[in-house]
Amino acid sequence: MLTALFFYLFAGLAVISAIMVIGAKNPVHAVLFLILAFFNVAGLFLLLGAEFLALVLLIVYVGAVAVLFLFVVMMLDVDFAELKSGFLSYLPVGLIVGGILLAEIIMAAGAWVLNPALSKLEKNTAINANITNTEAFGRVLYTDHLYYFEAAGLLLLVAMIGAIILTLRSREGVKRQDIAKQVGRRPADSIEVVKVETGQGI
């Protein structure tokens, strides 16, 4: 009874927070509601016995990603009125993409209801019941799915490099460090010895 009560509490708050993320007018408030949604989802993971996923969600998403979003929104001078002005022009495309995603979710849920066997995962490795979920997850991740894990890390690295290249702008009038020019600098280019006559100096 107590578990069901906490489930409905966390699930209800998570849904309300998710709605407020897209409904809040202030972007800072939207990020704060996103953090609240992450906390409630972490509570749901704890109820399911997946404490590792709950801690990763809090440490990675709340502690890094969401806080980074918050700092970026607060530091950048973004004209949100200008961004919202073109909302109606993108509305048809957004409705089409949203409809496709909704249809996929309904098809996946319908297949699970019609054939519950589809939800059962094939167990290739016997997991010792005496170890914790975190240790079992680490053994499976770094043995059976090691190459997939490394491929995901490589994709994230490429995405990070692409984001840096896209946001790196060459602005005029901004001084940048040129290491080759600094190393190749000669004394003749740095100083100039001038003989000043007596009484003619500054």
Q: Which CATH number is 4's domain given?
A: 1.20.120.1200
- 192 within domain boundaries: no
pLDDT at 182: 81
pLDDT at 121 over 60: no
pLDDT at 6 over 80: yes
- pLDDT-derived band at 163 (thresholds 50, 70, 90) equals confident
- 84 within domain boundaries: no
Q: How many independent structural domains does the chain possess?
A: 2
| Among candidate residues 57, 76, 95, the one where a domain is terminated | 76
pLDDT at 2: 82
The secondary structure of residue 199, as a DSSP letter, is T
- 54 within domain boundaries: yes
Are 1 and 71 contained in the same domain?
A: yes
- Give yes or no for a contact between 13 and 36, defined as CB atoms under 8 angstroms apart: yes
Joined tokens for residue 141: 């991740």
pLDDT in tens, 87-120: 677 788 888 998 998 888 888 777 666 665 655 5
- 142 within domain boundaries: yes
- Give yes or no for a contact between 47 and 10, defined as CB atoms under 8 angstroms apart: yes
State the greatest distance between any 2 C-alpha atoms of the chain, in Å, as a whole number.
102
- 19 within domain boundaries: yes
Structural domain range at position 3: 1-76
